[in-house]
């Protein structure tokens, strides 16, 4: 099985990736040039990754990307352009993830949920209110 991924496009631009299922092995889900790199890891008991370290390199990005990994529960991510109504919604359930690559988005918790949010840093309090309707 190949890791299953749904691409969310708007006007021909890739705005998000929804990861639905894991394939065996270590599978990159994002292209190498993305600011946030996401891989699925599915390995049998006893498998080892050789001990290693990552050599520091200066990295500069001009975007903030984030990945929501749902541990339990269910949520809906809405994607917006300008001050318009959402152009699409994506529901994410336990065991799934969504990587937001660009654009405005909102999150609604449809059930009591536990979610891990990962984004590139360093942290800057830069949230800008967005007046789009749901």
Q: What is the pLDDT of residues 21-61, one digit of tens each?
A: 888 888 888 888 888 888 888 899 999 989 999 899 888 88
Query: Please, what is the average pLDDT of the chain?
Result: 87
Residue 1 DSSP code = -
Cβ–Cβ contacts within 10 Å for residue 59, how many? 7
Identify the pLDDT of residue 131: 65
Distance CA 64, CA 104 (A): 11
Show the tokens assigned to 58: 């200066």
pLDDT at 128 exceeding the cut of 80: no
The lowest-confidence range among 28-37, 93-102, 116-125 is: 116-125
In 3-state terms, the chain is what percent helix, strand and coil (to 5)?
0, 45, 55
- Residue 60's SS3 state is coil
Task: Convert the pLDDT of each residue in 3-23 to its tens digit.
Answer: 688 999 999 999 999 998 888
Identify the pLDDT of residue 31: 87
Distance CA 14, CA 17 (A): 8
């Amino acid at each position: 099985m190949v890791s299953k991924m749904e691409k969310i496009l708007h006007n021909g631009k890739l705005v998000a990736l929804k990861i639905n299922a894991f394939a065996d092995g270590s599978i990159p889900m994002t292209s190498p040039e993305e600011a946030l790199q996401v891989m699925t890891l599915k390995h049998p008991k006893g498998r080892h990754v050789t001990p290693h370290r990552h050599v520091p390199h200066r990295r500069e990005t001009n975007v903030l990307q984030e990945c929501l990994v749902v541990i339990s529960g269910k949520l809906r991510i809405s994607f917006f352009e300008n001050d318009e109504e959402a152009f699409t919604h994506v529901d994410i359930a336990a065991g799934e993830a969504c990587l937001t690559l660009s654009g405005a988005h909102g999150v609604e918790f449809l059930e009591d949920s536990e979610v891990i949010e990962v984004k590139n840093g360093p942290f800057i309090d830069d949230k800008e209110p967005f007046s789009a309707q749901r």
